[in-house]
Amino acid sequence: VFSKIFSHEALESYLPKIQLVIKDTLRAWSSNPESINVYHEAQKLTFRMAIRVLLGFRIPDEELSQLFEVYQQFVENVFSLPVDLPFSGYRRGIRARETLQKGLEKAIQEKLQNTQGKDYADALDILIESGKEHGKELTMQELKDGTLELIFAAYATTASASTSLIMQLLKHPRVLEKLQEELRSKGILHNGCICEGSLRLDNINSLHYLDCVIKEVLRLFTPISGGYRTVLQTFELDGFQIPKGWSVMYSIRDTHDTAPVFKDVDVFDPDRFGQDRSEDKDGRFHYLPFGGGVRTCLGKHLAKLFLKALAIELASTSRFELATRTFPRITLVPVVHPVDGLKVKFFGLDSNQNEILTGTDAMLGATV
């Protein structure tokens, strides 16, 4: 059922909504006279994308902000010790989940009652219809569980990758320039503006250098460390016997660091995925940011589409610079992110690629 949610047709229908959410977010970042914490704001962005685009909920902004705070408390306590004592992380997580599910139930009920003005089928619509096709009306609890799972899947890892993308564009301005050159050559960017109607799914998929940039971000800064599998049949690996029924963990990061196909593994080099080199084509499981095999990540195409749409907007409509003297250290838990969240100052651009003054600067400019 979930595979339908991430089909080519579904992604095509999500794209305009994703663009709108990203545009609104970058406009808010640029209008802020202070620097922003990119990782925290990216979490808000991916949460908003999940709520507005994937699920089609029409929750007012104030309620959405409150729901985000509750959701963060839920996520922060997911990996707590299962000790149900007052003020424990476990108790806070349980309470946050209960509050969250109440909010989701209200949103689902409002959605089911109000079907007017819909111009696309979102993930929740597909989930409900698929249940009916299989002769099973999904219960409210099942809808809440499916909704929460979709939000969870779209949230932390995509926020992590979005933050890593922005950091690498800051570190490597030539990469940003090459992205802009490709957008111009494909007729997407003209006179500092994204040409109307140019951002279709097929157009985005034709941007080869953009694809290389996203691949390299995910290779060097894979959001999660690895995945688990259960052994279905006893086998031997490098002289060690792995019994049936055991759980095994494969490491994505260690694989990317040690795979012999990648040259200079610590260097950010999108061209390694270019047609001349194609370093990821030399082995099935040398490059696996979304896992591998039959249980590879279902949402990988949506995640890549979101990152590409974000990169296009960053390259087209924004100027941004590091707000600290040096780049922050990276931590790997619970997902990859800068320890200070990455402090960045965004500047809006008008259609002629001139900076739009904000705050005090705007007042001074108007006075002059």
Q: Domains (ranges, CATH) in the chain?
A: 4-56+121-364 (1.10.630.10)
Q: Which of 160, 159, 131 is nearest to 145 (CA)?
A: 131
Q: Which of 25, 92, 71, 22 is nearest to 312 (CA)?
A: 22
At 244, list the tokens.
């049936």
Rounded to whole angstroms, the Cα distance separating 210 from 214 reads 6
According to the annotation, is 193 in a ligand binding site? no
Rounded to whole angstroms, the Cα distance separating 298 from 291 reads 10
Rounded to whole angstroms, the Cα distance separating 317 from 315 reads 6
C-alpha neighbours within 13 Å on the C-beta side of residue 49: 32
Q: Which of 279, 281, 301 is nearest to 7 (CA)?
A: 301
Q: Are 312 and 194 in contact (CB under 8 A)?
A: yes
Q: Are 130 and 4 in contact (CB under 8 A)?
A: yes
pLDDT at 282: 74
Backbone angles phi, psi at 303, to 5 degrees: -60, -45
pLDDT at 223: 96
* Mean pLDDT, each 10-residue run in order, the chain (368 residues): 87 95 96 96 97 94 95 91 92 95 95 82 89 86 92 92 98 97 93 84 96 97 93 95 96 91 94 87 87 89 97 93 97 94 86 47 32
Q: How many CB atoms are located within 10 Å of the residue 42 CB?
A: 27
Give the DSSP letter of residue 53: I
Going by their DSSP bridges, the two strands 240-242 and 235-237 should be labelled as: antiparallel
At 338 the three-state DSSP class reads: strand
Rounded to whole angstroms, the Cα distance separating 33 from 46 reads 23
At 109, list the tokens.
């009920």
Q: Are 105 and 36 in contact (CB under 8 A)?
A: no
Distances (CA, A) of 193 to 23, 71, 126, 241: 13, 36, 34, 59
At 160, list the tokens.
């992590």
Chain-centroid distance, C-alpha 91: 28
ω into residue 334 within 30 of 0, thus cis? Answer: yes
Give the DSSP letter of residue 138: P
Q: Report the alpha-carbon angle 216-219-222, nearest 5.
A: 125
Q: Report the alpha-carbon angle 356-360-363, nearest 5.
A: 75
